[in-house]
Amino acid sequence: MIPLNPVGRQEIHKLESILLFATLFRKEVLDLIKDPSERLTWVDSLAVAAGAIAREKAGMRVSEIAEELGRTEQTIRKHLKGESKAGELVRETYDLIKEGKLDESQVDLSLILEENSKLKSENEKLKSLLKEIYEKIGEFLE
């Protein structure tokens, strides 16, 4: 069961993890993070938003959340109010869970594995291309 109003650290971390993964693997979010140069920023923002919302649901004050997550109170407020895109997306995920439209079984491992497979394939292609480039440079330098 997903703890919508977590009590204690374990439940906070469970809600935080579910919010992060369920948001991260939504189709629209996967589209947003396709650009490798943006991926790390997006994942970090989603993680902070998920952490902030999980802690808010546990009754923590903004100042406590900011201190615990190592962000400014202003950043935490933006995520909590949905003024940031990451906060908006995580809040939507929370609402889907609350409305019963998304549960733990729908945070589907198959999506994670599919994305992982795509990334592995892309990585292998890039390694092969890089090897060809090094070989051509070696030929050129001879």
Looking at the fold, whether 78 and 59 belong to one and the same domain comes out as yes
In this predicted structure, the answer to whether residue 126 has a pLDDT above a threshold of 60 is yes
Residue 8 DSSP symbol: S
pLDDT, tens digit (0-9, with 9 covering 90-100), for 60-76: 999 999 999 999 999 99
Q: Containing domain of residue 48, as a range?
A: 9-103
Residue 2 lies in a domain: no
Rounded CA-CA distance 105/30 in Å is: 19
Question: What pLDDT score does 76 carry?
Answer: 97
Looking at the fold, whether 39 and 92 belong to one and the same domain comes out as yes
Tokens of residue 41, six digits = 């920023």
Looking at the fold, whether 30 and 96 belong to one and the same domain comes out as yes
As for how many domains the chain has, the answer is 2
Rounded CA-CA distance 6/20 in Å is: 15
Contacts of 71 by beta carbon, 8 Å cutoff, 6+ apart:
48, 52
Average pLDDT estimate for 131-137 = 91
Residue 31 lies in a domain: yes
Looking at the fold, whether 52 and 117 belong to one and the same domain comes out as no
pTM for the structure as a whole: 0.71
Query: Long-range pairs for 68-76 at CB < 8 Å and ≥24 separation?
Result: 75/48, 76/48, 76/52
In this predicted structure, the answer to whether residue 84 has a pLDDT above a threshold of 60 is yes
Q: Select from 70, 59, 77, 71 the least CA-distant residue to 11.
A: 59
